Structure 1
Amino acid sequence: MNKIETLCLLCSQPLQSAISWKLLLTKQFQPTICDRCLARFEYSSTATALYQYNDAMKDYLHQYKFLQDVALAKVFRQELHARLKHEKATIIPIPMHRLKQRERTFSHMEELLKAANIPFLQLLEKTTIETQSSRNREQRIQAAPLFHLIEGAQVRHKEYLLFDDIKATGTTLRHATEVLLNAGAENVKSFTLING
């Protein structure tokens, strides 16, 4: 059995992980954060999210999304893979506006799914560059449609799972769900990394 030493992506402390047959055969990912950092995250009590929003998650999101640390897409890959690997519905990550994605250099939702080896399809486009976090609760609820279907997308009689990073008021997911249902989707459910 070989030991590989890497560093925790959050605190830079050495991680020692052993490569074993079990790891290889069960498709376990190598750990990317230490046990101490992992313990700072609080699991969600709902079936529609992995974690609760807390200070550790606030720090993670800031580093990942706003400081553009794409390596952090790997932090929750094992949990996401375990939760989504048997999903029968087509997974659609909530998209960013094209200009925002160019500015941020990557789609944080797509990178989370790629890191977890979860297949997805992008059928939606964001209509506004403004983020939901820049609006108060009332503005979010009264927002104009946030998405439209990508030209040529066929969604009739299919099931979808929308995937987003955080659910606060649920406005983003509600808007995306309406677009898909209005286009003929059979069923739309949602799953988020974080329950706000």
Structure 2
Amino acid sequence: MNCLLCQLKIEANRDIFSLLGISRINKARICDKCMTNFEKLNGRTVCPGCGRLQDSLKLCFDCQRWQQSGKTLLKNQACFTYNQAMKEYMRMYKFIGDYQLKDIFTRALQSLIKERELDIIVPIPVSQQTWLTRGFNQVTAMLGSISYQELLSVTLADKGHQSARQRKDRLIAQQPFTLPRTIDHLSGKKILLVDDVYTTGATLYHAADLFYQAGVGEVSSVTLAR
């Protein structure tokens, strides 16, 4: 079996299972060398509002600004930093559309989600244009067997790629989402939003606004990268 990122052969681990002749499938299909290029955030000092890696536990400037604008902070947690390795992964997975890469971080994302107190998991959707071009939602594909509800819909023809926008444009972008009319079951619930990358937070806060307007009790978020 070859690594999906570098294409080199993945050497089997010589553990008790292999010695007993029991084969364990590496569903992620990524070699140890490639995995070390991704910077994990677990156990690191991060901003309590967005999960950004930093030197203190104080709110970062971005989160202070969101708070000053009246937003309830999402307390976002991320699995990895958005370093060069993660950017290259996203380029291959999202923009080239290599669907095989969906499983690489499923276990890490699921582990982070299972640590949260929640009632409903809601993935951030893609636009119709993105769906037609790419053929899949990169977020739901990464979730694996975890149950979720696709409550959000994209109202704009194409909500646009955050990576292609200037920072200022992201922050002032209009509301790209809508909720279904029948949302009585959301009252008082704890919603966990899931997205691939937290950039400015604008996309997640747009989604959170709708849920708070619908009467939910709490909205928080988890992302693969920050």
Normalising by the smaller structure, the TM-score range is 0.7 to 0.9
CA distance in 2 between counterparts of 1:106 and 1:189 reads 24
CA distance in 2 between counterparts of 1:76 and 1:150 reads 30
Counting aligned pairs with the same residue, the percent is 33
Is contact 1:141–1:171 with CA below 8 Å preserved after alignment? yes
Q: Does 2:164 correspond to 1:134? A: yes
- 1:150: how far off? 2.8
Matches within 5 A, 1:5-154: 6-17=1-12, 20=17, 30-44=27-41, 45=44, 46=46, 48-89=77-118, 90-114=120-144, 117-128=145-156, 129-131=158-160, 132-153=162-183, 154=185
- 1:152: how far off? 2.7
CA distance in 1 between counterparts of 2:25 and 2:113 reads 14
Unaligned runs of 5+ in 2: 19-23, 52-76
Q: Which amino acid aligns with 1:111?
A: A
CA distance in 2 between counterparts of 1:156 and 1:29 reads 41
CA distance in 1 between counterparts of 2:34 and 2:150 reads 32
Is contact 2:28–2:105 with CA below 8 Å preserved after alignment? no
- 1:102: how far off? 1.8
Larger Rg: 2
Answer with 141-150 or 179-188: which moved more: 141-150
Q: Which amino acid aligns with 1:41?
A: F
Unaligned runs of 5+ in 1: 1-5, 22-26
Matched with 1:177 is 208
Matched with 1:3 is none
CA distance in 2 between counterparts of 1:67 and 1:161 reads 28
Q: Which amino acid aligns with 1:74?
A: D
CA distance in 2 between counterparts of 1:106 and 1:82 reads 23
Q: Does 2:190 correspond to 1:159? A: yes
Is contact 2:208–2:219 with CA below 8 Å preserved after alignment? yes
Matched pairs, number: 183
SS of the counterpart of 1:15? coil
Is contact 1:29–1:78 with CA below 8 Å preserved after alignment? no
CA distance in 1 between counterparts of 2:28 and 2:175 reads 39
Q: Does 2:192 correspond to 1:192? A: no
C-alpha RMSD over aligned residues: 2.1
- 1:86: how far off? 4.9
1:28/1:172 CA distance change after superposition, 3 Å: farther
* 1:20-65 Cα distance to aligned partner (Å, 9 max, x none): 39xxxxx996441001000001112335100001111111000000
Is contact 2:113–2:222 with CA below 8 Å preserved after alignment? no
- 1:74: how far off? 0.7
Answer with 30-39 or 165-174: which moved more: 30-39
- 1:145: how far off? 0.7
- 1:85: how far off? 3.1
